[in-house]
Amino acid sequence: MKKRIKIKGRLRLYLQGFMMLGILLAIINFGIYLLDYRSGLLLTGALIVYFIVTFILMFYNKPVIMNELISFATQYGQIQKRLLRELEIPYALLDEGGKVIWTNRAFETVIHKEKGYHRSISTIFPALTKDRLPMEEAKMDLEFEGREYTASMKRILLRDMALNSDIFQEPNYKGYLTALYLYDETALKIALKENDNQSLAVGMIYLDNYEEALESVEEVRRSLLIALIDRKVNKYIASMDGISRKLEKDKYFVILRKESVMQLEESKFDLLDDVKTVNIGNEMAVTLSIGIGLDGLTYAQNYEFARTAIDLALGRGGDQAVVKTSESTAYYGGKSQQVEKNTRVKARVKAHALNEIISSKDKLLVMGHRLADVDSFGAAIGICRIAKALNRKAHIVINDVTTSVKPILDMFKDNPEYEEDMIVNSAQAIEAAGSNAALVIVDVNKPSITECPELLRICKSIVVLDHHRQGLETIENATLSYVEPYASSACEMVTEILQYIKDGIRLRAEEANSMYAGIIIDTNNFTAKTGVRTFEAAAYLRRNGADVTRVRKLFREDAVEYKTKADAVSQAEIYRGNYAISICSGKDVASPTVLGAQAANELLNIKGIKASFILTEYQGRIFVSARSIDEVNVQVIMERLGGGGHMNIAGAQLEDVSLPEAVKIMKDTLDKMIEEGDLS
């Protein structure tokens, strides 16, 4: 049976209006019959004629009207299709799998395909895969043949079509199409990039060792050395179309375009190496620290970025450049050893400030990094002695006691000279912390790896004493920050402060041994990062009762630990001829990370090894211990893995990876840095 076409909406109401009008007249005619019989008959006859004519017109005109409507709809659809086909904006329809089912001429011109191209859109735009098709609407940037487009996509549901169609009978049909528009924004992005390249960048250049370099040259040549450095800096900045002005004897203020900063980054800031070539008989090469700020919302914000960047460069030991934006911080250089300052003025000033902070508080909390080592614990003991000298109670926060720390910690347990609650865990420390408690952090400046990060939010007065080079993550709002990368250890720094806190402070033998042990460990028996002040600190501790023989006995290992370390050394892989990589097993060993660090030191005794890396699995993480002598900066390598440390001693922690995966990551990092020229 042929299904009749039904008319809906206003058109149906319009066509039925004549019939409804006739019905209204028939009702009126009934009333006329009551008034006048003859008039009613006359109107009845007229109504009969009206209905006959109306029915004839309806049945005759309806097919004509329907044909006209269909003709109009067809022509209207063709016009729409033609307009869409000739639309200047590239347009395409995709099916559920991302396959092209229809394109207009503009789209065909862009992709250089003829009409009827029905392959996946990812064959044209590899980034536009099926899983990136939107649930509703989305935009994404695409690149094709050197031009940049913004793709605007919208999902078109076919449910309504299925409900009203004679073909689709499924009421819950969930099919859809994706409409894709391409907007060519190549010219706009070129203009924006050009404008961005011309934006202002603020820089600061500091001479790291100005005084030391001048002292190493004859007095009559000092003015010449300064002039040559000034010329070198000014000429270099001028070649980058920038402006440099000398603010002080060892400080420069620099204005550059962002495009020039990008050129400096590409050249790895070769000014750092270029200025070292200035030599007129000076025994010490001049080194620079550069801090640059850009991409700020205002010029003032760029200046603040530059100040932060130069502070980071100096805090990391100098001889490097730091570029800071609102979103990232990049480091360049940092290949020279830190220059030890002979003066102790800074230590005396910091000691005076620490004295005032501790004296104004009721109690003191001291903590280092997680899995505290000998240097961290020894420095904490030194701070406790300062607190006692100032009649303040101090607590050392330690959660897990490693095998390296245990022999030293045992000297203070059950010792009547020390309170039972001198050593506390994180929970006890949080309970003890109050509004009038000070927190001293030693041997770490990265908040996430402190023994109890929660204390940083509780305590208002925070003191940081550390010898590691600063990274992007730092302890904010510290009342006193004393970070000196040239120092050999935290124990050395605390020993110097001890001498200026208060007259007549005398260390007990246990305390002197603990701090002396910290210096021994971090200097690898005075062979690494050892300066004049290191020996002076050791001499002070020796005068206060440090027993060298007793300290040596504290470091003796049992047979299992010794064999584990020897096994890690024997199985080391020499990667790319210069880098030793090995795995330290944690089985049957209480503190495998300590053995890993010791094994890394041992590997440096092999000829030709520039750096060593020991990977240890412990507590669900992979600990990486990195060591070098002088040719490689292992800190920048570990920073690639999310860690940090010194130029010669650094480490990192990897999560959610296995040991083989960690080894591969280590090798890939070395490969990438060698390719980029950061490693030789």
Return d(Cα 152, Cα 488) in angstroms, integer.
58
**Average per-residue pLDDT for the chain:** 85
Mean pLDDT calculated for residue range 15-41: 79
576 and 525 belong to one structural domain: no
Residue with tokens 């300290």: 551
The answer to whether position 338 is within a domain reads: no
Q: Counting beta carbons within 10 angstroms of the beta carbon of residue 107, is it exposed (0 to 12), middle (13 to 18) or buried (19 or more)? A: buried
Helix H, strand E, coil C: the string for 132-188 is HCCCCEEEEEEEECCEEEEEEEEEEECHHHHHCCCCCCCCCCCCEEEEEEEEECHHH
CATH code, domain with 406:
3.90.1640.10
Task: DSSP for 522-584, please give it.
Answer: HTTTTTSS--HHHHHHHHHHHHTT--HHHHHHHT---HHHHHHHHHHHHT-EEETTTEEEEEE
End residue of a domain, out of 193, 228, 261: 193
Among 313-322, 356-365, 375-384, 482-491, which stretch is predicted with the lowest mean pLDDT?
Answer: 313-322
pLDDT in tens, 582-621: 999 877 787 788 889 889 989 999 999 999 999 999 888 8
Let me know: does 409 contact 377? Beta carbons within 8 Å: yes
Return d(Cα 447, Cα 429) in angstroms, integer.
16
Maximum average pLDDT range among 35-39, 121-125, 415-419, 515-519: 515-519
Q: Which two tokens stand for residue 87?
A: 């639309």
The answer to whether position 172 is within a domain reads: yes
382 and 508 belong to one structural domain: yes
pLDDT in tens, 292-309: 999 998 999 999 999 989
State the pLDDT at residue 348: 86
Let me know: does 328 contact 296? Beta carbons within 8 Å: no
Dihedrals phi, psi of 595, to nearest 5 degrees: -65, -35
State the pLDDT at residue 3: 46
354 and 484 belong to one structural domain: yes
565 and 550 belong to one structural domain: no
Mean pLDDT calculated for residue range 479-483: 89
Number of alpha carbons in the 13 Å side-chain half-sphere of residue 373: 20
176 and 208 belong to one structural domain: no
Return d(Cα 3, Cα 654) in angstroms, integer.
71
Q: Give the domain extent around 326.
A: 201-333
End residue of a domain, out of 298, 333, 368: 333
Name the band, by pLDDT with cuts 50, 70 and 90, for residue 285: confident
Mean pLDDT calculated for residue range 93-97: 85
327 and 357 belong to one structural domain: no
The answer to whether position 680 is within a domain reads: no
The answer to whether position 584 is within a domain reads: yes
pLDDT in tens, 156-174: 877 655 555 444 445 555 6
Residue 3's SS3 state is coil
Task: DSSP for 492-507, please give it.
Answer: HHHHHHHHHHSTT---
State the pLDDT at residue 427: 92
Q: Which residue has the higher pLDDT, 60 or 233?
A: 233
408 and 550 belong to one structural domain: yes
State the pLDDT at residue 331: 86
How many structural domains does the chain have?
Answer: 5
160 and 244 belong to one structural domain: no
351 and 442 belong to one structural domain: yes
550 and 568 belong to one structural domain: no
465: pLDDT strictly greater than 90: yes
262 and 246 belong to one structural domain: yes
The answer to whether position 427 is within a domain reads: yes
The answer to whether position 1 is within a domain reads: no
State the pLDDT at residue 4: 52
The answer to whether position 235 is within a domain reads: yes
Return d(Cα 486, Cα 342) in angstroms, integer.
11
Angstrom distances, CA of residue 513 to CA of 521, 541, 542: 12, 8, 8
Mean pLDDT calculated for residue range 460-482: 85
Count of residues in the chain: 680
CATH code, domain with 273:
3.30.70.270
Cα torsion angle, 7, 13, 14, 17, sign: positive
Name the band, by pLDDT with cuts 50, 70 and 90, for residue 68: low
End residue of a domain, out of 500, 522, 554: 554
CATH code, domain with 593:
3.10.310.30
What pTM was estimated for this model as a whole?
A: 0.59
Among 10-14, 298-302, 498-502, which stretch is predicted with the lowest mean pLDDT?
Answer: 10-14
State the pLDDT at residue 484: 85
277: pLDDT strictly greater than 60: yes
Residue 393's SS3 state is strand
Name the band, by pLDDT with cuts 50, 70 and 90, for residue 375: very high
99: pLDDT strictly greater than 80: yes
- Residue 544: count of CB within 10 angstroms of its CB: 20
Mean pLDDT calculated for residue range 675-679: 83
Contact residues for 273 (Cβ-Cβ < 8 A; gap 6+): none
State the pLDDT at residue 176: 80
The answer to whether position 639 is within a domain reads: yes
Return d(Cα 633, Cα 282) in angstroms, integer.
25
Q: Which two tokens stand for residue 52?
A: 């006959």
State the pLDDT at residue 168: 45
Return d(Cα 173, Cα 157) in angstroms, integer.
9
317 and 361 belong to one structural domain: no
pLDDT in tens, 126-156: 888 888 888 888 888 888 888 889 989 988 8
β strands within 434-500, DSSP E: 437-442, 461-466, 480-483
CATH code, domain with 153:
3.30.450.20
Cα torsion angle, 512, 515, 521, 527, sign: negative
Let me know: does 306 contact 325? Beta carbons within 8 Å: no
